[in-house]
Amino acid sequence: MKFVNFKADGQIRLGIKTDKGIVDVEQAAKAYHLDAPLTIEQVIASGEKGLSQLAELTNKDIQTILEEEIVYAPCVTQPEKILCVGLNYVNHAEESKMDIPTSPIIFSKFNNALAAHNQKIPLPKSSEKVDYEAELVIVIGKEAVNVSTEDALSHVFGYTVGNDLSARDLQFRSSQWLLGKSCDSFAPIGPYLVTADEIDPNSLEVTCKVNGSLRQSANTKDMIFDCATIISYLSQHMTLMPGDIIFSGTPDGVILGYPEDQQVWLKSNDEVEISIENIGTLVNVLD
């Protein structure tokens, strides 16, 4: 099932993407007097019961919204944690001139960084070196504490597309990367959140285009630490909660990896388009 969040009447509404268009869950549930979760947080919390209720809803003859008419919101809006994995592809570690990690490198973003598909991303005035990073994003579905790699993926609700935007001059100002990673709107995700039953996270094509030019192309099978390993590792150190999101790392092809005299950083009106197989395409324009 593919979920979207969209804005209507000053609120964020839950939608389901179907072949006919977007189902407004709240309107459809009212029309058929059905109990169903009405927010993505409620969907995640309700587990299989909620998904069954929503599947029943999509089988009804209900009016849908044309996708081009909606204004997207981030497909997850209230994560307790936004966690990120650095240098998780060998070629990216090499192009960044950093050691290949022997355990996952973890950093974080904050909720101010969340942004949606088609949302304009403001360039921070304090940075001149803004970069893109195409990433598969994991959304946790149930609490995970000290889980094994074998059990880790059972704790996933679904997957979405993310862009770990990075202000490189701020990122490397100190040994802590946070400043360059958590600028406003620097964690766009979406447009869809696809349930885990539809996705094999270990074999997904990932691409990034800037103004139509291909910059990154890889497959998640090339990750140093796969999604199960990431989740298990994190759960040994902190409790992962439903709705937490994890950026799983980017492949090579980022601007940072170019020779210094060929580095052309993102600028106003640049369009960044990130696609992940079986999930969708996230598009943002820099402002």
Alpha-helix runs per DSSP H in the chain: 25-31, 40-58, 90-95, 149-152, 168-171, 178-181, 227-235
Q: How confident is the model at residue 60 (pLDDT cuts 50, 70, 90)?
A: confident
247, 82 Cβ separation under 8 angstroms = yes
Sheet holding 271-276, edge to edge: 213-219, 205-210, 271-276, 280-285
Instruction: Compute the chain's Rg from CA coordinates.
Output: 19
Average pLDDT over residues 139-145: 98
CA–CA distance, 20 with 280 (Å, rounded to integer): 17
pLDDT of residue 57: 86
Mean pLDDT of the 91-113 span: 91
| Residue 239 host element (H or E) | none
Say which DSSP state 13 is in.
E
Residue at token pair 């580095």: 263
Q: For residue 5, how far is the Cα from the chain centroid?
A: 13
Peptide bond into 201 cis (omega under 30): no
pLDDT at 284: 98
The torsion of the CA quartet 157, 159, 160, 163, rounded to 10 degrees, works out to: 110
| Cα 15 to Cα 22: distance, rounded to the nearest angstrom | 6
Residue linked to tokens 């355990």: 103
**Arithmetic mean of pLDDT, 220-230:** 97
Mean pLDDT over residues 130-146, rounded? Answer: 98
Q: Which amino acid is at 71?
A: V
Q: Are 194 and 120 in contact (CB under 8 A)?
A: no
- Whether residue 95 is predicted with pLDDT greater than 90 in this model: the reply is no
The single-letter DSSP state of residue 65 is: B
Mean pLDDT of 204-228: 97
Average pLDDT score over the chain = 96
Strand partners, 106: 85
Domains and CATH numbers, the chain: 2-72 (no CATH), 76-285 (3.90.850.10)
Closest CA to 239 of 140, 158, 149: 140
Is residue 58 predicted with pLDDT exceeding 90? no
User: pLDDT for 75-90, tens place per residue?
Assistant: 999 999 999 999 999 8
